[in-house]
Structure 1
C-alpha cells in the first residue's frame, strides 16, 4: 500500500514543507472570508473603488487581512514553485541561486503589495 500522506521532497526542508501546507490552508480560509465580506455582505454584491477605499479606512482589520492574504499567497506560490523545480533535480549550486532569487522576488512582491495597501488607504489610489 502506497503512503498517500504529503511529505517533503528530497531537497525540501520540513520547515518549507510545513509553511507550504499551512499557507495553503490559510489561503483558503482568508479567501472564503474575503469573498464573504467583499461580495456577499457588500451592498449590491460588489464594492466600487470609492467604497473599497472607505472600507479599508473605516475597518482596519480588512487591510490587515488582505496583507496576510498577500503574504500567504506569495509564500505558498514561491515555495510551490521551488518544489516543482526540485522535480527537475537541479544541482545544489543552481538551487542555491534559485533560493536567493525566490527570496528576492518574495520580498519585493510582499513589499510592493503592502505599499499598495497603504497607498489605497492613504491616497485612495
Structure 2
C-alpha cells in the first residue's frame, strides 16, 4: 500500500481496485456505436431535411419519429449516449480515489441517474411517436 506522510504521521490509503476490462469494453463499444448513430442522426435530421425545405416543423417531426426504423435508431442513440455518459462520469469520479463506501454510493447514484434519464427520454420519444 502507498503511504502518505503528513506532519509526521503516516496515513494509509486504500489501494485502488483495478478497473475491469468489461467496463472499458462497454465504454469503447458505446463510443463506437455513438459515432455510427450520430452520423445517421446528423444525416437524417440536419442534411436530408433540405429536400423538405429546411428544418422540420412539429408535424414533420411527428411523422419522422413514427417511422419504426427511426424510432429504433433514436431509442438506441439515447441508450448509447446515456450508458457512455454514465460510465465516463463514473470513471472521472473514481479517479478521485473515493473510499469503498463512497464508491458504492457513486455506483448506485449513477445507476439511478442513468435509469431516470432513460425513462424520461423513452417517455418523450414514445409520446412523440404516439401523437403521429
Q: Please classify the TM superposition score into its range, dividing by the shorter chain length.
A: 0.7 to 0.9
Match of 2:92 in 1: 84
Name the TM-score, length of structure 2 as normaliser: 0.81
Is 1:39–1:47's contact at 8 Å kept on the other side of the alignment? no
Secondary structure in structure 1 of the residue aligned to 2:53: helix
Q: Quote how far apart the aligned CAs of 1:104 are.
A: 0.6
Number of aligned residues: 115
Question: What residue in structure 2 maps to residue 52 of structure 1?
Answer: 61
Q: Which has the higher contact order (CA 8 A, sep 6+)?
A: 1
User: RMSD of the alignment, in Å?
Assistant: 1.5
Deviates more, 1:9-18 or 1:30-39: 9-18
Q: CA deviation at 1:33?
A: 0.5
After TM superposition, the score normalised by the length of structure 1 is: 0.85
Change (3 A) 1:73 1:90: same
Alpha-carbon distance in structure 1 between the residues aligned to 2:20 and 2:53:
46
Answering whether residue 29 of structure 2 is matched by residue 22 of structure 1, we say yes
The structure having more radius of gyration, on CA atoms, is: 2
Q: Please tell me whether residue 36 in structure 1 is matched to residue 43 in structure 2.
A: yes
> Which residue is 2:109 aligned to?
101
Q: Secondary structure at the match of 1:47?
A: coil
Give, in angstroms, the shift of residue 45 of structure 1: 3.4
43-52 or 107-116, which moves further after superposition? 43-52
CA offset digits 1:68-94 (Å, max 9, x no partner) = 000100100110001011211111110
* Partner-residue secondary structure (3-state), 1:82: helix
Q: Residues 3-22 of structure 1: matches in 2 within 5 Å?
A: 10-22=17-29
Q: Which has the higher strand share?
A: 2
